Structure 1
Amino acid sequence: MHKPTTATSSPLYWVIRYLPILQWLPHYKLSWLRADVVSGLTVWAVMVPEAMAYSGIAGVPPLVGLYTVPIPLIMYAIFGTSRTMVIGPDSATALISAGTVGAVVATHSGVTQVAEFVAITSALALIVGIIFLVLGLVRMGWIANFIPSPVMKGFIQGLIWVTIIGQVPKLFGIEGVHGNFFEQLWALIPELVNAKPITTAIGLGSLALLFLFKRLTPKLPSALTTVVLSIMVVSVFDLGANGVDIVGSVKAGLPSLAMPKFTLAQLQLLLPGALAIVLLGYAESLGAAKAASAISGGSVDPNQELISHGPANIGSAFSGGFVVVGSLSKTSVSMGAGGKTQMASLIHAAFIILTLMFLLPLFTNLAHSALAAIVIHAMIGLLKPGYLVQLWKQSRLEFSIGVVAYLGVMAIGVLAGIGLGIVLALLLLIRHASSPPTAVLGQIPGKPAFRNIYRRPGLETFDGLLIFRFDAGLFFANANYFASNLQELIAQENKPVHWVLVDAATINMMDSTAVERLLELLVSLKQQGILIAFAHVRDRLKDKMILAGLVDKIGEEYFFETLSDGVSSFQNNTKAKES
């Protein structure tokens, strides 16, 4: 017998699903091309200097930053679901990359170490890409939900300071030091007397220009303009021959494609950092994609976003680059320039390829102190000192967690700080799960509606009846809390409680541990002469309670459709006893 083919079983459906470019490219309008070209050129003007600058954060030569960009842009345009998001180097993930690779690469000095560092950096990008791809294929797009905002934002704010302190030696032309933020700060202060005057002048001058351009001419590509001016100054006065650290001679051309090589031992050392990059990078990227879609329209598929970051990072690795993620700042630039679709990213990639083929020699006299200034300026723009103040007003607990994540990165390092952030996230999750909100309810006079008696005055309560709401599913982590909290509320009542009416509207599940605890609670309440009843029980939950024997123990007659029905039954029962 012929089995009908459904839409989801069609091979074409799966091809289009995993290649979103096939959804928008056939419908592309030529009238959009001008806006996408302008957007691509605008993002190019921002990306070129930032990619070279962020290479310094990742611990690799500036040219590697440009190698990183084109293939990920093309891959995201093919596999990504956001119409306008721009993918590329990111300061946070670049810093994690540097810390991870630094722990792997041998400590010998010279050119060999630089080459090895670059090779292992690309290997890390490959591992990150594979993890992204696998997580997307097994549909784990929900993992971003497990980093609470206080942990994420606290971590990033701390990371900003770590990034800034790491660029200070380049800004002043002094020797860099290793250690956490405070150790680096303590070591750098006395070193400032050894700052190279010309390097310092270029660095601080570039920083001043960046702030000036942002204030006076915000539409000007300030980073690219600063790069051009610094190259002109170094070239005119031949400052490279006078002690200023410059990019140096760079051969134009595209990178050769090759698979990064690494050993099993190196893989084991790279894996924790790779997982940290995936978790943090995905949370950042998904946030950027959703923010862009809220403005430009369209929908974002979290699982496909994971998949899209797979080939993007694998492509970066094969071209000798480092890890890439979605960038909210560059996405904003693209959208601000009128970008309509991912065609803007394809055009942007084309401009980067042309840069690699023909323009690289122009960057020979680019000072590293100017690149450091670009990084520091970008980081200062990301600082949000008011966030912790706002968090303090909202929740003391979340404020404390945000501060711990903030200071943790600065005090114990990036990777350890990530680990601390994840532990904090898990602890916060456990706390919320194990002690969810509860409420004692009263009825709005004359209406079949019930509210929390401690939040709304004037509600009607009923002597001998406690109406209890538990705002979570019942499972092993909170079953004891359900019972103990209910017993405490019973003890706090001024008059003896004869009935407990549980509003189960917010209880969507119940595991075996919760069933056992409820059976124990029934026995305890019965010994106190208290009857328990339920209202608003969902069908699936009631099926579970029937199978567990709870309905038989409680009595079918004590399950009500509404709280009003339960209150009426209690009142009728009380009147019957009195008569």
Structure 2
Amino acid sequence: MQVAMGFLQVGFVSVYLSDSLLSGFATGASITILTSQVKYLLGISIPRANGIGSSIYTWINIFRNIHMTNICDLVTSILCLLVLIPAKEINECYKSKLKAPIPIELFVVVGATLASHFGHLHENYGSSIAGTIPTGFLMPKSPDWSLIPSIALGALSIAIIGFAITVSLSEMFAKKHGYEVKANQEMYAIGFCNIIPAFFHCFTTSAALAKTLVKESTGCRTQVSGVMTSLIILLVLLVIAPLFFSLQKCVLGVITIVNLRGALKKYFDLPKMWKVNKVDTAIWLVTMFSSALISTELGLLIGIAFSMVCVIVRSQKPGATLLGRVENSDVFESMVVYKNLKSTPGIKIFRFEAPLYYVNKQCFKSALYKTSGVDPVIVATEQKKKEKKKEKLQKKDRVVDAKVTQVDTIQQLYKEPLPFHTLVIDCSVIQFIDTAGVNTLKEVLNDYKNIGICVLLAQCNISVRKSLRNGDYFKREESCMVFYSVQQAVQFALYEQEQEDACINGSLV
């Protein structure tokens, strides 16, 4: 299934795994793993909870049975924590000076196994130990192909979730250590890792956060560590597994929990994250809580869905601002962000900081009318009302035609002026425009044209110009109203206004 997904290049979905989402997922999954290991630290036996809310049910069972805590396991857990945490911190502080990290986990496992074996902790104190570990391999056997129709749907969901978890963990460590992850290549790798073991009765292969954190925290960096791990596991399965018979389960639980400290430290970054970006913090919190309280798989899917909703909401309410000129230059910047910018009399320059498409077309118009200070629909409506009043007065007073012509000329000369004569729309931040966006620009153009305001476009990219051309925006009049820079559009507007003023002054003379 995953090989087919890799062949279809489905790996592009990994772009929706943001840093905040991955961090929240890792922290939430760490809480789930920590929860699953607490029973070993206390040495109590509780039923394993599965499905939605398994972590909550696990904690309920822990507190119900906490009176059955095995003192030997609890003391061993505390001693291991007192050894592992300082040693891990030393490895972290002096990693640049140490040629190789101190293999403290190996020392703890060996020491704890010897202490448990010669101290007879299981026999004397009832400590929970690893016990008999089966050795050897099962004979290969072909899967039962008749089961495929009944398990295909479940296999698809497992493949998708396994891919998402693997890629999310890969991206998390890739960002930490500065390398690139190819999602489709990962999908091929997971797929083939599941095809071959299918003949040996193996479980489905996927990334495991706890084991990955353990390897990363011990200093593993290359595939050599994977080869060595495989060889050691092979050696354990074939030869030395019986030697770990007396190893206490609480020791393995402590090693797992200690290596989760990196993900758990993310809680201390929350105040700083909130100051930088509140939306990213919300994504982190939603992903973390859903991964910890609902389930790891659903938590990741919920985080992705919430992240995409945030993207949609952001695009619905993007930034919009008026621009002003930087003194003694041709640069125009936001008048909200920068101070001491100069506005050009009679010209408003508007920037919309998002794609213009069907989702935010109304937001574009509202922001444009609000920031410019002129709603052309309202102005046109008021002008129509004045025209009707004028017609009523003319009919009432029965004014002669010559008199009416003189009144019209006077009203045209002394009507209330608008705050600007030209509107320049800076399209440099608009990545694309769809059909609804083109129609919105047409409406804006016509609405402002009806009240005598000229609309100019500036800095349209190739995609936007192509959409405008295909959407029949460029007619005879509009073809000369699109400019390669805001400065050029402003100069054109000033020139046109000078020509119009000259014509009016000439006609009055």
TM beyond 0.5: yes
Work out the CA distance in 1 between the residues paired with 2:234 and 2:293.
Answer: 40
Work out the CA distance in 2 between the residues paired with 1:189 and 1:485.
Answer: 55
Aligned to 1:161: 31
Give secondary structure in 2 for the equivalent of 1:468: strand
2:167 and 2:183 in contact (8 A); partners too: no
CA RMSD of aligned residues (A): 3.0
1:285 and 1:326 in contact (8 A); partners too: no
Residues 420-429 or 487-496, more deviating: 487-496
Aligned to 2:467: 544
Q: Which has the higher contact order (CA 8 A, sep 6+)?
A: 1
2:25 and 2:287 in contact (8 A); partners too: yes
Give secondary structure in 2 for the equivalent of 1:448: coil
Q: Which amino acid aligns with 1:450?
A: F
Work out the CA distance in 1 between the residues paired with 2:199 and 2:80.
Answer: 33
1:470 and 1:503 in contact (8 A); partners too: yes
Aligned to 1:94: none
Count of residues in Structure 1 that have an aligned counterpart in Structure 2: 442
Work out the CA distance in 2 between the residues paired with 1:433 and 1:259.
Answer: 51
Work out the CA distance in 2 between the residues paired with 1:300 and 1:406.
Answer: 23
Structure-to-structure mapping, 1:164-183, within 5 angstroms: 164-177=34-47, 178=49, 179-183=53-57
Q: Which amino acid aligns with 2:471?
A: A
1:438 matched to 2:361? The reply is no
Aligned to 1:451: 333
Say if 1:198 and 1:170 are closer, same or farther in 2 by CA, change over 3 A.
Answer: same
1:293 and 1:300 in contact (8 A); partners too: no
Q: Shift of the alpha carbon at 1:259?
A: 5.7
Match of 1:213 among 71, 87, 93: 87
Unaligned runs of 5+ in 2: 93-100, 376-416, 503-509
Instruction: Output one character per residue of 1:422-468: Cα deviation in whole Å (capped at 9) or x when no partner.
Output: 22112112112223333321111111111111111111211221212
Work out the CA distance in 2 between the residues paired with 1:259 and 1:173.
Answer: 40
Match of 2:74 among 188, 195, 200: 200
Identity of matched residues, %: 22
1:440 and 1:452 in contact (8 A); partners too: yes
Q: Shift of the alpha carbon at 1:216?
A: 5.1
Instruction: Output one character per residue of 1:254-275: Cα deviation in whole Å (capped at 9) or x when no partner.
Output: 4544566666444434543542
Aligned to 1:377: 258
1:283 matched to 2:168? The reply is yes
2:25 and 2:291 in contact (8 A); partners too: yes
Q: Shift of the alpha carbon at 1:314?
A: 3.8
Instruction: Output one character per residue of 1:90-118: Cα deviation in whole Å (capped at 9) or x when no partner.
Output: xxxxxxxxxxxxxxxxxxxxxxxxxxxxx
Work out the CA distance in 1 between the residues paired with 2:244 and 2:215.
Answer: 25
Give secondary structure in 1 for the equivalent of 2:131: coil
Q: Which amino acid aligns with 2:163?
A: V
Q: Shift of the alpha carbon at 1:180?
A: 4.2
Work out the CA distance in 1 between the residues paired with 2:91 and 2:174.
Answer: 28
Structure-to-structure mapping, 1:537-576, within 5 angstroms: 537-552=460-475, 555-576=478-499
Structure-to-structure mapping, 1:198-277, within 5 angstroms: 198-215=72-89, 219-242=101-124, 243-254=126-137, 256-258=139-141, 264-269=149-154, 271-277=156-162
Give secondary structure in 1 for the equivalent of 2:282: helix
Q: Shift of the alpha carbon at 1:317?
A: 4.9
Give secondary structure in 2 for the equivalent of 1:474: coil
Q: Shift of the alpha carbon at 1:411?
A: 3.2
1:532 matched to 2:413? The reply is no
2:190 and 2:205 in contact (8 A); partners too: no
Aligned to 1:83: none
Q: Shift of the alpha carbon at 1:175?
A: 2.8
Normalising by the residue count of structure 2, what TM-score does the alignment of the two structures yield?
0.78
Give secondary structure in 2 for the equivalent of 1:324: coil
1:304 matched to 2:185? The reply is yes
Match of 2:246 among 365, 373, 394: 365
Say if 1:315 and 1:244 are closer, same or farther in 2 by CA, change over 3 A.
Answer: farther
Instruction: Output one character per residue of 1:130-163: Cα deviation in whole Å (capped at 9) or x when no partner.
Output: 32x2332222332111123333322322222222
1:409 matched to 2:291? The reply is yes
Aligned to 1:461: 343
Unaligned runs of 5+ in 1: 1-129
Give secondary structure in 2 for the equivalent of 1:451: strand
Residues 208-217 or 275-284, more deviating: 208-217
Say if 1:528 and 1:174 are closer, same or farther in 2 by CA, change over 3 A.
Answer: farther
2:322 and 2:372 in contact (8 A); partners too: no
1:441 and 1:450 in contact (8 A); partners too: yes
Instruction: Output one character per residue of 1:25-70: Cα deviation in whole Å (capped at 9) or x when no partner.
Output: xxxxxxxxxxxxxxxxxxxxxxxxxxxxxxxxxxxxxxxxxxxxxx
Give secondary structure in 2 for the equivalent of 1:508: coil
Work out the CA distance in 2 between the residues paired with 1:227 and 1:541.
Answer: 63
Give secondary structure in 1 for the equivalent of 2:305: helix
Q: Which amino acid aligns with 2:44?
A: I
Q: Shift of the alpha carbon at 1:351?
A: 3.9
Q: Shift of the alpha carbon at 1:191?
A: 1.9
Larger radius of gyration: 2
2:165 and 2:207 in contact (8 A); partners too: no
Q: Shift of the alpha carbon at 1:409?
A: 2.9
Work out the CA distance in 1 between the residues paired with 2:21 and 2:178.
Answer: 24
Instruction: Output one character per residue of 1:503-535: Cα deviation in whole Å (capped at 9) or x when no partner.
Output: 222223221121222222223222333221111
Give secondary structure in 1 for the equivalent of 2:350: strand
2:46 and 2:61 in contact (8 A); partners too: no
Residues 533-542 or 457-466, more deviating: 533-542
Q: Which amino acid aligns with 1:165?
A: T
Aligned to 1:67: none
Give secondary structure in 1 for the equivalent of 2:371: helix
Q: Shift of the alpha carbon at 1:565?
A: 0.7
Say if 1:214 and 1:470 are closer, same or farther in 2 by CA, change over 3 A.
Answer: same
Instruction: Output one character per residue of 1:522-567: Cα deviation in whole Å (capped at 9) or x when no partner.
Output: 2322233322111112344323312211011751111112111101
Give secondary structure in 1 for the equivalent of 2:373: helix
Match of 1:511 among 434, 442, 456: 434
Q: Shift of the alpha carbon at 1:416?
A: 3.5
